[in-house]
Structure 1
Amino acid sequence: MNFSQVAPKVFKAVLALDAAARDGLDPVVVELVQIRASQLNKCAYCIDYHTGDARKAGETEERIYQLSAWHESSLYTAEERAALALTEAVTLLPQGVPDEVYAEAETRFGEKGLAQLIALIFTVNTWNRMNVTTRKTPGTV
């Protein structure tokens, strides 16, 4: 299914939400969050899309490759680690968002930045669910 053609109002609303969610966040953090959520959700289309955007934002191949094992890697900043921990907690929501994960993200991003980060995470999860459900893969429209 080409979701953007079948449900253009919904698609445009998600595009607007996506743009609003990114506001004020570091573009590299945005792409790391989007790649990690897409890995967890097994969204090949979004992984492909956001790794390309990450490279355009200046991200290195090494950090992209190690992202699935960020817990064990020394390549990520404290801010990026807080964003990635929150991404995993929100994406895997049935496990809950631990208080310490939320507190660390709030410390690193402040209240406004945290709100933007949460919005970014639920937005990428929306894209992942849309694309996985409609079987969108790299190279499809």
Structure 2
Amino acid sequence: MFGIKKGVTALLKKSHPEIEITHCLAHRIELAVKSAVKQVSNKLYDRAMTLRLGLYYFYKKSSKQKKQLVRTLKICKLPCVLQMRVGGTRWVPHTIAALNAFFRSYQAIVMQLENASHENPKAEGLSKMAQDMNIITYLMVLKTVTFQKVDSP
């Protein structure tokens, strides 16, 4: 919508040059949070997002892998929480939901990926990333520190 040439804001500016256009407050807060999270460790952020996106598409595009994950969740007696979309227009809530789903089913995800890694190189790569303690620690800190609900006094 903020396109420089053909976005809604550009079209409005042509007919009414006095208009000042900004992102809504909620969107500006989300952009600030995302920018702050990336500034702490951009490389680690990129690796963590690669893992989360990889898991999302790995299970979304393969019904076989998804079924195996559901079976593994049942065997581990874990709640059946599948990987959720990572990004979106509401970045913070999507991130919170995706991290919660990831950590609730972490044990089953790793087991299923290791099982699938014998015949699937993508699963092998995701398994290694899912067991990288630098990435997991980063995601835990991201979940715990950045997105905790703040109680008002």
TM-score range, shorter-chain basis? 0.3 to 0.5
TM-score (normalised: structure 2): 0.33
Q: Which has the larger radius of gyration?
A: 2
Q: Which has the higher contact order (CA 8 A, sep 6+)?
A: 1
Higher helix proportion (structure 1 or 2): 1
